[in-house]
Structure 1
């Protein structure tokens, strides 16, 4: 990724040599011989590095440092002072400079300190992104259903192509964000790359472009300082665009350009920026219907859907319900300080027969509520028994009855559900359950969808 630098020094020979050295290190350098030229350059674009001489023909570089920090708060500033002027160096650091150099300046030292100052700023961004990721992190529970296993297998293959966009489609609450985080973890290989989540539906139309691509100072009325967008912040990591179908048409075109080339311009800017962030988009909308209505670009659809993953709702992978519930219960118990809590027999039956219109998110909410309201070590999920979770919730079934409700199920799925119900009735004793069903043990294991040994 090319780094923009503003070099402010009236010594033409030194600045030319220094600029050449920085360019060899991947910087795009703008030279300014005075504070007047520096202000003009700063108004046109926002640099990531500023090398600033203390003594300039039209003023003191230290006073200009305050303007730089106000207009480009993310820029790393390296101050150049007279030889032995320690007081100036201390003043510069107190005013916000990342580092300082004393003249005469060694070119290698300048390049080293410039790179270190920029890397320190990036590290700060990564730490902030990591804090945001930790606050929303959820452990992925290994699925039992073949459909979800295929989804995870696809993500593992996609992870090897870190720039390819991914489109996750599915109902609200199915776990699209969790899958995006899983893909990010597979792709980044633990290198601390940022994961940035933005809900496109929650942003006002007039600010969404600035949020995504950033803006320059003066780009609009309240743009008093330049700001990096989330595409830049997510460089080297993942930008998760939730509810991508809500993006305005004009911004969809800009997103398409970025997906094709990795390049973009900040709002109000003229300098082209680059980022190696992977875009993972998600929606529960029918994007093909939106294309027919003219509210979603067909070319963006084709670009995003190179890797399209349809995430099945929880009701269509019922064998995942109990393993998910147990995994989420363990996680929530740690968060809420509950120890030795488990699902009772009644709770398991209720989970097995509930339709989960809110999918995994609803399952998590049900368990969290039960942990707060049910004090004992064995949860019965009474909230599912009285029908207060949702108007679509069925009445609780007796633990002694096997009930199938809702849409007709394929025979294979029905047999699997019944085999699991018998296993529950036998207290998890697989040999006894197989005997009760009149099946050989290997056939019983195959029927419930596992190859584990007793």
Structure 2
């Protein structure tokens, strides 16, 4: 794939020769003979590389550098300066240039520095993507249940359509993020495309637009420099919007525009940007109810629902529990340094009986606590949360006062809130521990608690 580049120089002979050399290296060049032409080119497209001369007919390239970086913060800039003008070169690097060359320019040196500048920028993008993946990749266990096999089959078909949005619906902890990662892996041919995960519920309403779509310098009080948003960073890959039902209505409209056209504007910006990121959204909320209440846009619901996947809870696919438990135990044993751990007969019987209100996330938490608290090498899941009663299914017997019970059918949202309060009570009001036990981020836990 060619790399978009802008070459700004009024020396026709040099720019013609340099253009040929850079095109041979895979750059798609746009030529500009002045700052005026450079501004016009930037309004049309955002380059990955800019080769910028210092001396131009209508101004100083060094003075233009700040404007350039504000409009195209992700572009790698190679500055061309006069021979021996080291002070200008240093100023250019301080102003945001990735590198510089001095005239007379050796074409091989220019090509080397251009390629290195672009590669460094790509490395930074990958590091940003890696930071967004600190939660770590989980090994996906092939499902045994017919319900999850249908989900996997649908994801394989969707992978052939790289930009179509996907909406994953299901209870907390059913594995929506892992399914989004699986779809990303199926869609990414070279394995280098970014996967960006953002929890919309954990973002303050004042910053969520900037996080998603970026901002220009001066867009708000603390915007001292232009910044790319996650939609831009996820270009060519997947942007996973967890808890999409928490997005403010105004931002839902902007997301809808991006889904329709692939175009967006940074906060405070006037130039349209583009991104080919696939949006995968997920929620455990009842979006049809939010539609009726006016807190979620109907047009966004229809647009996201082009491919809507309902992920069944773990209690409805009990065939998957043994293989999931084995896979998670192997992974956690490696992480915690406790190899060759196995599940005992009593542990398997308990897992077969348990209702798993927290789904796969709760299963993982159960195994992690057992690995820390039980001596092994065969886990029985007895010391978890105060003993076997913590894993026993709710009972109507008189002695089962410690179990979580409901006396009548409740809406899922009310049930979740009641369970959160019960866990909090059992842990003596320690909120951080309760959030960890439930497998929730602390902001999401507080929302459940309200």
Give the TM-score normalised by the residue count of structure 2. Answer: 0.75
CA contact 1:387–1:393 (8 Å) conserved in 2: no
Q: Cα distance 1:379–1:387, how it changes in 2: closer, same or farther (>3 A)?
A: closer
1:179 matched to which residue of 2? 179
Cα offset for 1:233? 0.1
Cα offset for 1:393? 4.7
Matching of residue 326 in structure 1 with residue 326 in structure 2: yes
Cα offset for 1:128? 3.3
Could you tell me how far apart the structure 1 residues matched to 2:2 and 2:257 are? 18
Cα offset for 1:107? 8.7
Cα offset for 1:84? 6.1
Could you tell me how far apart the structure 1 residues matched to 2:142 and 2:395 are? 28
CA contact 1:3–1:28 (8 Å) conserved in 2: no
Matching of residue 102 in structure 1 with residue 102 in structure 2: yes
Cα offset for 1:67? 8.4
TM alignment of 1:77-96, pairs within 5 A: 77-83=77-83
Structure 1 gap ranges (5+): 397-405, 408-454
Could you tell me how far apart the structure 2 residues matched to 1:256 and 1:28 are? 32
1:386 matched to which residue of 2? 387
Larger Rg: 1
RMSD value over aligned CA atoms?
4.1
Q: Cα distance 1:132–1:314, how it changes in 2: closer, same or farther (>3 A)?
A: same
Q: Cα distance 1:300–1:122, how it changes in 2: closer, same or farther (>3 A)?
A: same
Could you tell me how far apart the structure 2 residues matched to 1:252 and 1:263 are? 14
Indicate the SS of the match to 1:273: strand
Could you tell me how far apart the structure 2 residues matched to 1:362 and 1:63 are? 57
1:294 matched to which residue of 2? 294
2:208 matched to which residue of 1? 208
Deviations 1:24-57 (A, max 9, x none): 95567887649xx9999999x9975444434578
Cα offset for 1:309? 0.5
Could you tell me how far apart the structure 2 residues matched to 1:337 and 1:70 are? 47
CA contact 1:212–1:231 (8 Å) conserved in 2: yes
1:280 matched to which residue of 2? 280
CA contact 1:350–1:385 (8 Å) conserved in 2: no
2:233 matched to which residue of 1? 233
Cα offset for 1:123? 2.9
Could you tell me how far apart the structure 1 residues matched to 2:271 and 2:169 are? 35
1:122 matched to which residue of 2? 122
CA contact 2:356–2:362 (8 Å) conserved in 1: yes
CA contact 1:354–1:394 (8 Å) conserved in 2: no
Could you tell me how far apart the structure 2 residues matched to 1:29 and 1:395 are? 78
2:137 matched to which residue of 1? 137
1:376 matched to which residue of 2? 376
Matching of residue 356 in structure 1 with residue 359 in structure 2: no
Could you tell me how far apart the structure 2 residues matched to 1:31 and 1:215 are? 29
Cα offset for 1:145? 0.5
CA contact 1:171–1:284 (8 Å) conserved in 2: yes
Deviations 1:65-106 (A, max 9, x none): 688779976442211012465786577558753232333558
Could you tell me how far apart the structure 2 residues matched to 1:184 and 1:3 are? 23
Cα offset for 1:7? 6.7
TM alignment of 1:46-65, pairs within 5 A: 49-55=49-55
Could you tell me how far apart the structure 2 residues matched to 1:190 and 1:394 are? 51
Q: Cα distance 1:394–1:322, how it changes in 2: closer, same or farther (>3 A)?
A: farther
CA contact 1:129–1:196 (8 Å) conserved in 2: yes
1:421 matched to which residue of 2? none
CA contact 2:5–2:28 (8 Å) conserved in 1: no
2:402 matched to which residue of 1? none
Q: Cα distance 1:91–1:224, how it changes in 2: closer, same or farther (>3 A)?
A: closer
Indicate the SS of the match to 1:133: coil
Matching of residue 164 in structure 1 with residue 159 in structure 2: no
2:76 matched to which residue of 1? 76
Deviations 1:90-129 (A, max 9, x none): 7755875323233355899868855653343123212331
Could you tell me how far apart the structure 1 residues matched to 2:30 and 2:206 are? 31
CA contact 1:2–1:27 (8 Å) conserved in 2: no
CA contact 1:53–1:80 (8 Å) conserved in 2: yes
Could you tell me how far apart the structure 2 residues matched to 1:340 and 1:395 are? 38
